[in-house]
A and B are shown apart, each in its own frame.
Chain A
Amino acid sequence: MRWLNVWTWWVLLICGCATLILPNIPFYQAGMSFRYELGGMALVVIYLSFGFGSLGLYGLVMAGLGWKLPSPRTSKTLKIGLAAISFAVALVWCYLTFMDLTLAL
């Protein structure tokens, strides 16, 4: 499973998500007054969640690969991965909140 630990796959993963998933996520930026540009903030937040999501996924995958050989390194990686995933989920929640506020305007 060493091939999973190559930068190429992770760059390809994020590029694939940005190309295929992001266009389907609404952010209502166009036509909004600049004072209420919550749509733009929602866009930034969803990009940030992609960054932390990739970090969390990497942590979980690497911790999973090292699971059979427990070591402080594995638990550290697992902690980083879970923290990053939690942060990504929190950012998605922020995105949904921004979208609710945008639609309520």
Chain B
Amino acid sequence: MFAIRRVPTHQSVIESPGDGFLCWKHVVQAMVLGMSVVVLAKWGTGLPSWQDVIASENGPVERMSAALWFMGFSWSLVAASAQRVRTMEWLSVAMFLLLFGLRELDAHRWSTGWNLDKLANYWNPHFPVGEKMVVLGLMVLPCIGVGGLVCLRLWQTVRQAWRAGESWVNHLVLGMLLLVVCFSLDKIGPYTLPLLGVSEVGQLFAMVIEEFLELVLAVFTMISLWPYLQEAFGGYE
């Protein structure tokens, strides 16, 4: 995927095989920038507590994460049009970024009136059976089908790139790890932390970490995509 022929300004990013150092450097950069924008957001919005800035629904950090996902989506579309041999892969990336953005805005919740990614809702008698069938038939199953096909296609590309030692695979693996950590904190944390006897302050801290890591993941994704976006524009010095 993302075979680059000419990128004068970011050659090291693309052509250095298996450069794990660069990958960690980008994670650190994403964390530093993430912390900086959180501080700037608190100063700019004048919100009284850090909790309001980081861990609140539709708060500044959540808005920034969503905006970055949508930014990545639009930029990936340009990369798709620029790299014709990899159009499908770039469109897949764009689709994933769009889904992340929609997820961040809770589109899965307001589009149905109930949270469709919460399994317990599917046998909750308060929601009509017909509505559940519509959600399953028109949203969940098509998404699983299309997502499966996309993953299958991407997987073959990732396997080839892994064998060739292309550096972007490191970014992908680290991004996936961050995603798993965020997902675990978001979905498993609220149920398991009270069972483990973690205090409310500890649970709040986990929520803060989760929202912050989501922002870091969004920034890290933009950093990783940047050279390819530059290539789409022709590569600028």
Which residues of chain A have a CB within 8 Å of any CB of chain B?
2, 5, 7-8, 10-12, 14-20, 22-23, 29, 33-35, 37, 40, 43-44, 47-48, 50-52, 54-55, 58-59, 62, 65-66, 73, 76-77, 80, 84
Contact = CB atoms under 8 A, between A and B. Distances in A.
Interface stretch (B40-48, B118-126, B142-150, B206-214): B40-48
Interface residues of B, number: 40
Interface string B202-237: 000000000000000001001100100010111111
Contact of B236 (A10, A12, A18, A62): A62
A77 B233 contact: yes
Interface of B: 9, 33, 37, 40-41, 44-45, 60, 63-64, 66-68, 70-75, 78, 101-102, 105, 107, 110-114, 219, 222-223, 226, 230, 232-237
Contacts of B68: 11, 14-15, 18
A10 B222 CA distance: 10
B94 to A, nearest CB: 10
Nearest to A5: B236
B223 A7 contact: yes
A52 B73 CA distance: 9
Contact of B67 (A5, A14, A80): A14
